[in-house]
Structure 1
Amino acid sequence: MAEIRLNAFDMNCVSHQASGLWRHPRDRSAAYRTLGYWTDLARLLERGLFDGLFLADVLGVYDVYGGDPRAALRNAAQVPVNDPAMLVPAMAAATAHLGFGLTCTLSYEHPYPFARRMSTLDHLTDGRIGWNIVTGYLNSAAKGAGKGGQAAYDTRYEIADEYMQVVYRLWEESWQDGAILRDVERGIFIDPDRVHRIVHDGAHFSLDAIHLCEPSAQRTPMLYQAGASTRGRDFASRHAECVFLASPSADIVAGGIADLRRRARALGRHDGDPLIFSLLTIVTGRTDAEAQAKWEDYRRYVSLEGALTLLSGWTGIDFSRYAPDDPVRHIRNDAIHSAVDALTVQDPKKAWTVRELAEHAAIGGMGTTIVGGPERIADLLEDRVVRTGVDGFNLAYAVTPESFGDVVDLIVPVLQRRGIYKRAYRPGTLREKVFGRGDRLGNDHPGSRVRCRATEEMP
C-alpha cells in the first residue's frame, strides 16, 4: 500500500466549514487576523509532515440563504474573510518543507498581474507554492467585481481554459533558462535575447508583454483543482496535478477517481496523475470513548443555520424556503454542480432531508467525518484508500488548531508504525516533495508544450 498523503484545509476567516464551532472554548479561529495563528499552525503541520496547507478562499458573501447576507453575517459563514495570499510568506519563513495551496479565483483578475503574484510567492517560498484553480460560484462576487452576475457554468470553464493558456506562456515561455546572467564584469544582469514577448489575442483575454518575474524554482506553481462535475473533471484531468474531491460517500469518491484517471489517461497524462485527495474531518482522542465524547461535545456548538447558509451558497438552492423534513431535490443551476449531484443523483440510495443535510454539513462541509481512537481512525483511512484508490486526504477541522494537533500527535504515529506515512520530507520544491520527480511541469502536461519555444524576440 502506498503512503497516505495529508493536507490541512483552512481559510483566512473565522468559520470555514465547522458552522458555529467558533464558540467552542478551545477554538482559536478568531485569531485568524494574527500572523501568530498561522505561523503556529504551519509549524504544527510541518511537525506532522503534512504535504501542505490548502487555503480555501471565496470572493463575495453567502447571500443565497434568505436572499440576503444576514445569516452569513450572524454565523460568520466565511465572512469576514481576509486575503489568503498575504499569509504565505510568513508561514514559509516559519517552516522549511510545508507546501501552500492557494485558492485564487481567475474570473476577476487578468492573467498578467496574477502570474506575477504567483511567481513572487514561488520565489519567497523556495518553490513551495501551489495554485488551486477556481472559477467562482457566487453572484455576489461577480457583482462586487462590477459585473451583473457570474457567467454561465460552461462559459466559466471556457474562460478558465484560455486563462491557463496565457499563464502557461508567461511562466514557461517568456524567460528562457539562462536568461539571468548576473555578469558583474560586463555589467549585464539579463540577456535580452533570452526574454520573449508573449502575444495573445483570444476570445476573453488579450496580452502583449513579457512576464515581469525571472523564472522561479517551479516556474508554474503546482496546480490543484476541485472540479467534480463533468465539465470540472474534464478541466481537472487536463490541467490539475492534484484534485480535491468533496463527497459524503466513499462510493461517490471511488467513482469520481476512476473517471478522473480515465480522462487523464485519454489525454496522455503521466500514469497515476492527477493525485487525488478527498475531504475528510477526523475527530479523535486517546480511545474510542474519548473521541466519541469529544464528538458529542463539538455537536453542542453546531449552528444548523450556518451550515444551511454555506450549503445554499455552494448549491445555489435557498434552503430557507424548505421545511426541515423536506427532501433535497436535484436542481441544476450555475453554482457548484457537483455539490448538488453528490446529494442526489450520484447516490440514489441516500434521500437527504434538509435537516439531515444541515446536520451532516455542520462539521466537515460536503466531506465525511470519522470518529474514533487512533487505531480505529488508521483502520478507516486504510480502508478508504483501498476502497476508493484515493491518494490522500484534505483534512478539515472541527475545532482549530485542536483537530490538526490531534491528527499530528495521535494519528500520524500510528500510520508511521504501519509503514503507510512518511517519516521525513523529500528535498526540493513542492512538486518534487509530492511527486518525487522534477521541479517543473512534466512533459505530459499541456503547460509544458510552450516551454523554450522562444520564437518571439524582444523588439
Structure 2
Amino acid sequence: MSCVGHQAAGTWRHPSSQASRYNDLEYWTQLAMELERGCFDTLFIADVVGVYDVYRGSAEGALHDAAQVPVNDPFGAISAMAAVTQHVGFGITAAVTFEHPYLLARRLSTLDHLTKGRVAWNVVSSYLDSAARNIGMEKQIAHDARYDLAEEYMEVVYKLWEGSWEEGAVLRDKERGVFTDASKVHPIKHEGQYFKVPGFHLTEPSPQRTPVIFQAGASTAGRAFAARHAESMFILATSPESARALTDTIRAEVAAAGREPDALKIFTLLTIITGPDDEAARRKHEEYLSYASPTGMLALYGGWTGLDFASLDPDAPLEAVENDSLRTTLESLVADGQQWTVREVIRQRSIGGLGPVLVGGPQTIADALERWVDEGGVDGFNLAYAVTPASTTDFIDFVVPELRQRGRVQTAYRPGTLREKLLGDAGGQTRASHPASHWRQHYVGQESVADASGPAASWA
C-alpha cells in the first residue's frame, strides 16, 4: 500500500524499516526490482480513500501510528517501476464506488500500454464511511448494493475495452495520413441504472485490452461477483482447513458461472517472518513484536469491522456482525472455532493484520506453505510484510531457494503479458468464458464514429 503502516501496526519504527520512505520513487523502484529477483508474479498495491476513524470515534489513533494514513494514490509509481523491470506485474486497487468507469478505463489502459501488458485491476467497492462522506455521500452504499453497482460498472468498462475499438482500427498509415480507421471505432451507447456513457473509449486497445481482474471480497455477494469476473481472488483464512471450505465453495461457484476450474487463481493473505533457521526467525518475530502498536492495530480493525474496539470487553469473545464494512474480517476469525477477543487480536494480529503470521526457517515455512496449497486448496499467497523491505528480502533469500528445490515456484518468467504469465493463456486476452469476451465483437457492423460524423472532409 502506498502508505507507512499497512498490515503491521507500529513496525515502521523498526531500525531496518524503510516504510516511511513511501514518498520516494526509489523506494518503489527498488522494491519492484527486488520482487523480480525473486520471480514474484505481481506487486499488489491495496488502497483506501477514507480514514480509520471508528476506534474511539476519531482518526487520532490512525494518524498517530500512520495506520494507512497518510496514503498516496496507488497509480503514481507504476510507470517508474515498470521502467526498471521486465516481467513483474502490478495489481492496482481502485474502487468502483468513487471513480467513473469512463475515466478509470482510460487510466488502466494507459498503464497497460506503458507496462507492455503487466497490469491487473483489483476491483473493490470500498467500505469506509469516511470515504463516502468526503465525496458528498451521507454514508457508504449498502454492502450488497455496492455489488449491484459493480456489475454495471464492469459492463461499462468491458464495452469500452473490448468492443469500442475493433482489431485493426489503428493503422498508423503515414502514406495515406490515416492513423485510425474511424469505421472500426464504435460508441458504446451505454444507458443504465448508475451510468450513462454514450461515447467510445479514449484509448486504443492495450496489450491485454481488459487488465487481469483481481477481487478480494469473500462475502456471499463478493464470491458471486468473483465467480463471474475475477481471474485472481484474495481470501482471508486462519488455517489451511478453513481455507479449504472457502476454496471449494469458490471453485464450485466459478463452475456454476460457466467458467473453467483454472480460470481463477486463489491467493490467501499471509505474513512470513523467516531467517536462516527456526530460532533466528523466532528471535526476529519477538523483536518485531516489541515495536507493534496496539492502538494502530485497533484503529485498523475498527475500520475493517465497523466496530469500536474501545467499547468492547477486551476479554469477551468476538462475534461476526452484519454491517456494511468488511464482513469477512470477523467471519474469518470466528470460522476456525478459536475464541478471539480484543486482547487476542492485539497479541496475534498487531503483525499480520487480516491474515496469519508464519514464523520459521526455510524448511518450516516451505512445509507450511505446501500445506496451505495441498490441504487448503489455494494457488498461492498474497504476502504482506512485517518490516519493509526486510520481510521481502528475507523471503527471497531464505524461502524461495527451498521452494525452488521442491519445484513449487517458478525459476523464470513466461513470456508475454501478465495474463499469459499468471494464467498461462496464449494471446493475453480474456478467455471466451469470461464476460469481457462477450463484447469483443459486439459492435462490429454497428454504428461507428464514421457513420455518425459522415465522410471526412477533403481539402484541396
Give the TM-score, by structure 1 length: 0.96
Aligned length: 447
Greater shift after overlay, 414-423 or 127-136? Answer: 414-423
Q: What code does the residue aligned with 1:158 have? A: D
CA deviation string 1:342-372 (max 9, x = no partner):
122x23x211111101222211111111111
Instruction: Note if contact 1:278-1:393 (Cα within 8 Å) is conserved in structure 2.
Output: yes
Q: Alignment partner for residue 286 of structure 1, among 276, 280, 305?
A: 276
Q: Distance in 1 between matches of 2:353 and 2:244?
A: 19
Give, in whole Å, the separation in 2 of the partners of 1:337 and 1:322: 18
- Whether 1:82 and 2:72 are equivalent positions in the alignment is yes
RMSD: 0.9
* Contact 1:176-1:194 at 8 Å conserved across structures: yes
Aligned to 2:448: 457
- Secondary structure at 2:22's aligned position in 1? helix
Q: Which residues of 2 match residues 118-129 of structure 1 at below 5 A?
A: 118-129=108-119
Partner of 2:365: 377
User: Who is 1:143 aligned against?
Assistant: 133
Q: Which consecutive residues of structure 2, in runs of 5 or more, have no partner in the other structure?
A: 453-460
The alignment status of 1:351 with 2:339, answered yes or no, reads: yes
Q: Alignment partner of 1:388: what SS?
A: coil
Give 1:100 shift. Answer: 0.3
5 Å-filtered alignment, 1:382-393, equals 382-393=370-381
Find the counterpart in structure 2 of residue 277 from structure 1: 267
Please say if residues 427 and 433 of structure 1, whose CA atoms lie closer than 8 Å, have aligned partners that are also in contact: yes
User: Which amino acid in structure 2 is aligned with residue 320 of structure 1?
Assistant: A
Residues 324-358 of structure 1 show CA distances to partners (whole Å, capped at 9, x for unaligned) of 212212221110111121122x23x2111111012
Question: Identity over aligned residues, as a percent?
Answer: 52
Report the TM-score when normalising by structure 2. 0.96
Of residues 395, 408, 415, the one that matches 2:403 is 415
Equivalent runs, 1:315-334 vs 2, <5 Å:
315-334=305-324
d(CA) in 2 for partners of 1:40, 1:181 = 38
Contact conserved, 1:248 with 1:366, CA < 8 A, in 2? no
Question: How far has the Cα of 1:423 moved from its partner?
Answer: 1.0
For 1:169, give the aligned amino acid.
K
Aligned match for 2:232, one of 233, 239, 242: 242
Q: Which moved more, 1:92-101 or 1:378-387?
A: 378-387
Moved over 4 A (4+): none
Letter aligned with residue 266 of structure 2: I
1:429 aligns with 2:417: yes
Q: Is this contact kept in 1: 2:263–2:423, CA < 8 A?
A: no
Q: Residue type of the partner of 1:51?
A: D
Indicate if the aligned counterparts of 1:106 and 1:160 stay in contact, CA closer than 8 A: yes
For 1:457, the aligned partner's letter is S
Q: Is the 8 A contact 1:103 1:133 kept in 2?
A: yes
The within-5 A match list for 1:154-165 is 154-165=144-155
Taking the aligned partners of 1:263 and 1:370, their CA distance within structure 2 comes to 30
Match of 1:5 in 2: none
1:54 aligned partner: 44
- Output aligned runs, 1:158-237, within 5 Å: 158-237=148-227
The 1-side partners of 2:390 and 2:185 are apart by: 49
Amino acid of the structure 2 residue aligned with 1:64: V
How many angstroms does 1:247 deviate by?
2.2
Whether the aligned pair in 2 keeps the contact of 1:317 and 1:331 (CA below 8 Å) is: no
Which amino acid in 2 is paired with 1:152? A
Please list the CA deviations of residues 242-271 of structure 1 after superposition, one character each: whole Å capped at 9, or x if unmatched.
000122232221111111100000111122
Q: Secondary structure at the match of 1:84?
A: coil
**Runs (5+) with no aligned partner, structure 1:** 1-10
Distance 1:273 1:437 in 2: 10
